[in-house]
Chains A and B, each alone.
Chain A
């Protein structure tokens, strides 16, 4: 029982931690983009464009379902919770317009993916930024 409590604790702390802290949008260091506006982040994450403003391919990464960080990111970005985002992507996918962002299981997986892909773009907690990524937009709490 003690083991279960100990294993739940980090998850609980992580889930609480995204409230009230910075969420940053990051790309690979190799990406030539140095900054994005909120509107440009919305364009990419809501499937309006499949490229960065400079015309190069943009491949957004998402966190798995029911992640607190994912929910906070979309609330701050477009004021929509995960339920609305899921319905939105069903509309875009099955109307043939766009494919949803690729889903990643953890922040570590996102950071690994960003190291390998110049076109990837992701959101992570500000505290998780490493030398291998570049912050292009900062989502402060609304």
Chain B
């Protein structure tokens, strides 16, 4: 699929450009790092800053620490390339999970930019640089909003951008198409999902202290590898053929990856003047796939600068729309032989668990401070309090699945040092 997009882009570029001359070849290296010590006070529920990283409870240096390196390769006035790799505690340690950017860019004239290769997502206010702690306010971006977004944080494809000055502001419009296959571990099981034909349109308008952003995205699910879900779907399909549990076929279809698509849209606004830094974003996903159900997430953050210090606080929420059918246990089960009815009861319980584990329903509040120590180093401290509602721990790693219906309250404290070099 990557080859398809690169070929497409290459053909377009060949038609619109003259042969590439490396008459201004220059390579610049740079990097960034974050060292974070954090403590989560609920041993029953593991936390990770994003879906692709390993989850941990208690003290951890690994859950947010990372090291990134980048090469900017200038070929000439029209062509350049960027490669960026980030080492962090990915649950699947494959090269693919560490390569963040690897694209070639062509600027035929000042208002148009074409890129092809591995690109960063442009859905949110900080999605292009959410690994670079030095560049933003928090010790951790709002978890409810940015943890799931990480699964499609980069993709392989092409994009085209148009930008211009409009009414004394700067407008940037981008359209992209690509695919990505994030690989992660959920509940000790490896999981890989392919988001194919991932189309995204985004618009950003910047005027003095204000930034406005809107984006919309849609994707097909073209592959899903997960042994527990395969086992569950097989069980549901075999029961569906018997007619004992009429809902089995419906749930099997809901869990199967084929024929499902996800639509996503997001709005963001930021105000950044001498003292105040205020940001808010709202996202909404519509999905008919039970594994990634429809959801709404949002946050509001307010920061105030006093010399080298910025003090901040905020709230965030993520909530799945309850569009999954309610499970109805058939009365006929009591008339079946015990072994058969027990097997179906177990299947129903596993179906219920799978639905609840995919569901997010949480709220959080945070307070913190950022200290600008030097032009290369900032320190941050942040305290988060999360309220994870019953059956709403979809963004967390629940150690004991029998606790899926319990509400959890988690306190998380983070100290971080963020560098650029």
Q: Which residues of A contact B (CB under 8 A)?
A: 39, 43, 48-51, 53, 55, 57, 65-66, 79, 81-84, 86-87, 90-91, 93-97, 99
Within 8 A of A (CB), among B121-149: 128-129, 131-132, 134-136
**What's the Cα separation between A87 and B419 when bound, in Å?**
11
- Evaluate whether A90 and B77 lie within 8 angstroms (CB atoms) in the complex, with A48-B170, A83-B308, A83-B372 already known: no
Query: Contacts A49-B110, A57-B77 hold; do A65 and B72 have CB atoms under 8 A apart?
Result: no
Q: At the interface, yes or no: B249 with Cβ under 8 Å from chain A?
A: no
Looking at the complex, which of B43-51, B101-109, B258-266, B313-321 is the stretch in contact with chain A?
Answer: B101-109
| Nearest A-chain residue to B86, judged by Cβ | A94
Contact, CB under 8 Å: B129 / A94: yes
With an 8 Å Cβ cutoff, the count of chain B residues facing the other chain is 34
CB < 8 Å neighbour of B132 from A50, A57, A65, A91: A91
Count chain B CB atoms within 10 A of each CB in A49, A87, A94, A95 and give the residue with the most: A94
Shortest beta-carbon distance, A65 to chain B, in Å? 5
Q: Which residues of A contact B163 (CB under 8 A)?
A: 48
- Give the residue name and chain of the A residue nearest to B130 (CB): A95
A50 near B135 with CB under 8 A, answer: no
- Contact check, B135 vs A94: say whether CB atoms are below 8 A apart: yes
Chain A positions within 8 Å of B188 at CB level: none
* CB of A83 to closest CB in B, whole Å: 5
- The contact of B375 among A51, A86, A93, by CB within 8 Å, is A86
Say if the beta carbon of B120 comes within 8 Å of chain A. Answer: yes
CA distance A39 to B168 in the complex (A): 8
The answer to whether A87 touches B70, judged by C-beta atoms less than 8 angstroms apart, is no
Cα–Cα distance between A48 and B372 once the two chains are bound (Å): 25
Could you list 16 examples of A-B contacts with CB < 8 Å? A39-B165, A39-B168, A53-B110, A55-B110, A65-B375, A81-B274, A84-B272, A87-B134, A90-B132, A90-B420, A94-B32, A94-B68, A94-B70, A94-B420, A95-B120, A99-B72
Is B28 interfacial (CB 8 A cutoff)? yes
Contacts A57-B77, A90-B134, A94-B129 given; 13 further ones with Cβ under 8 A?
Answer: A43-B170, A49-B110, A53-B110, A55-B110, A83-B372, A83-B375, A84-B272, A90-B32, A94-B30, A94-B32, A94-B131, A96-B70, A96-B101
A1 to B82, CA, bound (A): 50
Residues 89-121 of B, flagged 1 when their CB comes within 8 A of A and 0 if not, give 000000000000101000101100000000010
Shortest CB distance B371–A (Å): 11
Give the nearest-CB partner of A37 in chain B. Answer: B165
Alpha-carbon distance between A99 and B120 when the two chains are bound, in angstroms: 17
Q: How far, in whole Å, are A66 and B74 apart by their CA atoms in the complex?
A: 28
Nearest 4 Cβ contacts at the A-B interface: A95-B128, A90-B135, A96-B82, A91-B135
Contact with A along B357-388 (1 / 0, CB 8 A): 00000000000000010010000000000000
Q: Which residues of A contact B82 (CB under 8 A)?
A: 96
Q: With the chains together, A20 CA to B129 CA distance in Å?
A: 37
**B110 and A94: CB pair below 8 A?**
no
**In the complex, which residue of chain B has the Cβ closest to the Cβ of A80?**
B274
**B84, B131, B375: residue with the most chain A Cβ atoms closer than 10 Å:** B375
Task: Contact check, B128 vs A97: say whether CB atoms are below 8 A apart.
Answer: yes
Q: Which residues of A contact B107 (CB under 8 A)?
A: 50
Instruction: For the complex, give the distance between the alpha carbons of A55 and B82 in Å.
Output: 22
Minimum CB–CB distance from A110 to chain B (whole Å) comes to 19
Q: Are B129 and A91 in contact (CB under 8 A)?
A: yes
Distance in angstroms between the alpha carbons of A86 and B74 in the assembled complex:
22
Cβ–Cβ < 8 Å partners of B420 in chain A: 90, 94
* Cβ 8 A contact of A94, one of B28, B77, B84, B109: B84
Complex interface: chain A residues within 8 A of B308 (CB): 83
The residues of B that contact A83 with a CB separation of less than 8 Å are 308, 372, 375
- Known A55-B110, A79-B274, A91-B135: A96·B77 in contact at CB below 8 Å: no
Per the bound structure, the CA–CA distance linking A46 and B135 in Å amounts to: 15
Inter-chain CA distance A72–B119, complex, in Å, is: 36
- A86 surroundings in chain B (CB, below 8 A): 375
Q: Check B129–A90 contact: CB distance below 8 A.
A: yes
The complex places the Cα of A49 from the Cα of B308 at a distance, in Å, of 30
Residues of A within 8 A of B28 (CB): 99
Tell me the complex Cα distance, A91–B30, Å. Answer: 13
Q: Which residues on the B side are within 8 Å of A91 (C-beta)?
A: 128-129, 132, 135-136
* Chain B hits for A99, CB < 8 A: 28, 72, 74
Which of B74, B110, B132, B372 has the most chain A CB atoms inside 10 A of its CB?
Answer: B110
Q: How far is the CB of B236 from chain A (nearest CB, A)?
A: 43
Is A96 a contact partner of B103 (Cβ separation < 8 A)?
Answer: yes
Task: Report A-chain residues with C-beta under 8 Å of the C-beta of B120.
Answer: 95-96
Once the chains are docked, how many angstroms separate the CA of A96 from the CA of B128?
Answer: 8
Contact B103 A94 (CB under 8 A): no
